[in-house]
Amino acid sequence: MKQKIFKEKYHIFEIEYKKSELNFKSVDEIISALQVKIDAHPVLAFIAIFDQYKHTSSLESGEINPNIKAAKNIVFCFGKELPTPEVLAVRPRSIGVCETQDSFILNFLEAPNEAANKTMEEFVKSLKSQKNLMGY
């Protein structure tokens, strides 16, 4: 898991798995595995799955890097506390899942809560040892 700065100001966490490292064959299978983890978590609330690839490709002016084969976000919220109105600016959270020719790249924006970052990192890292929902 790498920490990176995207566009000189957004702190993100990112991991790239070669397809041979995972038991998942598609972005949809990975998103499904993440949703199981989100649904089982005592604090998290699942919100939506957003197909960024479909959206961008539907736009007349949409541009997609030809190396990207699929790209979706799973959107959810920790929401354990609501101490100030400002917290709404950094919620909800999402994990992006992108497929290239030989890799899956997963990333998320750093949260202002260390426990949230740790949970998202654990979810993403656990995929390496997990079987997919189809049993292989």
Q: What is the pLDDT of residues 1-45, one digit of tens each?
A: 999 999 999 999 999 999 999 999 999 999 999 999 999 999 999
pLDDT in tens, 83-125: 999 999 999 999 999 999 999 999 999 999 999 999 999 999 9
Please check whether residue 15 lies inside any domain of the structure.
yes
Residue 135 has pLDDT above 60, yes or no: no
Residue 118 lies in a domain: yes
63, part of any domain = yes
Q: Is the dihedral of CA 47, 69, 15, 62 positive or negative?
A: negative
Tell the burial category of 5 from Cβ atoms under 10 Å away from its Cβ (0-12, 13-18, 19+).
exposed
Distance of alpha carbon 122 from alpha carbon 116, whole angstroms: 10
Would you say 16 and 22 are in contact if contact means Cβ atoms under 8 Å apart?
A: no
Q: Is residue 135 part of a domain?
A: no
- Domain count along the chain: 1
Query: Where does the pLDDT of residue 129 fall: very low under 50, low under 70, confident under 90, or very high at 90 and above?
Result: confident
Indicate the burial class of 133 (C-beta count within 10 angstroms; 0-12, 13-18, 19 or more).
middle
Residue 97 counted as domain residue: yes
- Domain enclosing residue 94, as ranges: 2-129
Band of residue 130 on the pLDDT scale cut at 50, 70, 90 = confident
State the Cα–Cα distance between residues 97 and 31, nearest whole angstrom.
Answer: 7
Q: Which pTM does this prediction carry? A: 0.93
- What CATH code is carried by the domain that includes residue 93? 3.30.310
The answer to whether residue 134 is domain-embedded is: no
Burial of 10 (0-12, 13-18, 19+ CB in 10 A): exposed
| Low-confidence winner among 9-13, 61-65, 78-82 (lowest mean pLDDT) | 78-82
Whether 82 is in a domain gets the answer yes
Q: How confident is the model at residue 136 (pLDDT cuts 50, 70, 90)?
A: very low
Query: Could you tell me which residue, 14 or 81, shows the higher pLDDT?
Result: 14
